[in-house]
Structure 1
Amino acid sequence: MENQPKQPVSGEEKEVDLGLLFTVFTKVMHSIGAGLRSFFNWLFEGVILFLLFLKRRILLVLVGLLLSLVPGLYNYMTKGNQYYSTMTVRANFGSAPELYNKIDYFNSLIKLGDTKKLADIFHLSEPEAGKLRTFAIDPVDDELQAAELYKSTFFDLDRSFESPSTEAGAMLRDTSWQKLIKYADFKKKLKNTDFPLQTITLYSLSPDVFTHVSAGLIETVTSTPSLLARRQAEDSLVQEQANLILGSLSNADTLMKAYNRKIGSGDRGADVSTLAISTQPTHSPVVELFDKEKDLRRSLTNTRQHVEEHRDILQVYSDFNAVGTPIAPFRESFLQYSVWCLLGTIVLLLLFEGYLKLGELEKRRSTAKGI
């Protein structure tokens, strides 16, 4: 009995484990604290060294800033202030890619200085066309627009007269695609050309060219043969659908009148209430006909709304102003270029300072070896 080894006490094991864990945790926290102190010390020393560098090279920095301002100021003083205006359009019939393509084409003509082509496109004189500076285009990319695209892709019924309560309507509302493609993933995959609403901004040195540019831009995009063909094909399909819905409404109205006459005459026939024991829900032809007529009218309303929203290839929601808005001086592009030039000057001076430091270090090593 005396030779049997003593069994360790579980409480002692726990105390040893907790003590070891506390020691390790304390060392880790001390290491993290030392690392943070070293980082902030290094950052503070870097800021001090940078300020000392600016103090030594302040004259060169100011000279670089003034030199970068000269071209922009000369351009601003000779050509005058810039003006801008924006327009919002709805790109129908898949015209958004063509719209972006035309905007790139206009900007290329401006960069090349081809004022003759610009004047022909926008119905301007060549001096007026020479004052165009740049076009910018961005989608109306807000949460509401993205949600509307997701809803129309996976939830909305087609413009048909199928009732949501019917089997065909239920198939149109199949949620398998919704489960496969989540809204967040769908929104990430959207491109600029997927959004129907687009905002176009024009910058010009003349405040009076925006109305002519708007007409020329719309005319250029809407005269594309492929878009005209697509519009004609879709208009034909929508018109056929509207005629089909109107014909179905006429038939439904005729049947409803016949049922009303039958009920008014007192001869209800098969519609007389009878007691039936069945697990299946009872169907009333009159109620079904009423629901069908209601769905047909809803489909006709949706079709007419679609026609109204797709009257033009580029449907203008908000046009350019007749007179452009002047750009504030601090928003002028030459100030942005000056800031970049100032940063470039500082980077070059830092590289030069580093080169001098390397030269001093190399000289010290050579002296130490000679000694």
Structure 2
Amino acid sequence: MGFENHKTVFRSCGILALITLYHLNPVEFAYGRNIASGRHDLELVKHKGTFKSIESKNGEVIDCVDIYKQPAFDHPLLKNHTIEMHPSSNQNVVESENDQITPYLQEWHENGECPEGTIPIVRTLKSVYPRKAILNISIDRIGHHQFGAPTGHEYAQVTFNGGKYYGVQANINVWTPTTYSSEYSLAQLWVLSGEGENLNSVEAGWMRDGYQNSGCYNLDCPGFVQVNRRFALDYKINRVSTYNGPQFNIPITIFKNKVSGHWWLQILNTSIGYWPDSIFTTLRDGSNTINCGGEIINNEAGGRHTQTDMGSGHFPIEGFKRASYFSNIKYMDGNGEFKDPEQLIPYATKPSCYDLHVGEDKSTSSGTYFYFGGPGYSDICQN
């Protein structure tokens, strides 16, 4: 990918933290958690609206749920919502003609597929079958401020701001970081607008956690409308990168449909679903800040810094095939065109634990990129 001999450049731009406020207009609802009578060896109850269930080879269960009975429509603002099955085509967004995303990333489809008019939702408890990494969209209400972080959260990110943005896309390198207890490690894109109580955010990427996360992820809480019947959120990714070996990255795009106003999510150029325009306040007019990067939770178990990995668990100085990266970072302007960001500001909460290096290489397919991550607790990373 041309990363080995890159020139490291630090440019100006603003940095914001990950996991952000997601204020819904105008109501709030409780965090979503799946519970099975306090035991970890019982399956969850079948989702409402299930037409068919598929058991994967590792024992996890996928419910094929009526598309109009998915959790999104538990949101009071979406009671009479009409589903948009595809984004409008008047924008410079590539759409895959043949949906090859599931065989590429997930194996549950080997035992069947969900019929038309349904979407797949994972049923089995997270704690029953360990996972390597999952694709993730999040709805969370953990607040943050520019150049700051809530207690226990650590970041290595870039931000670009100062304009009006209608989308973002990047290739995100996928790894299986080591995590501990209730901690998690994620890499994702954030599209934000507003500040404080008026902050709106949509987020997408991959994560690994200790299966005790708080907040709302994927389809656990209402708000995200899924339309793709071949891809299950919250299900493990088959292909991941290996140290000094093959690398695997996932192209992810978030963009605002000019016609409907909905914010769409694409993975591997395949439309997965969208966040409806009606649940937003400030994001209705576009985004003023884009974040890209990694985040971990540091619970300081035993009174010391966590050993939870960010990214590959290796510092960005190790470069390609060793460190995690984002590449080909672009934003969508008001004309629906994707462009390279002019300014980036790198931000790392604790560079001795998790760091980041920004680069640009127009001579290769890497485009605007950065390496990020680290191992956590070490001789140079203490409290």
TM-score normalised according to structure 1 size: 0.20
- From the CA coordinates, give the structure whose radius of gyration is larger: 1
Higher strand proportion (structure 1 or 2): 2
Larger RCO: Structure 1 or Structure 2 (Cα < 8 Å, ≥ 6 residues apart)? 1
Higher helix proportion (structure 1 or 2): 1
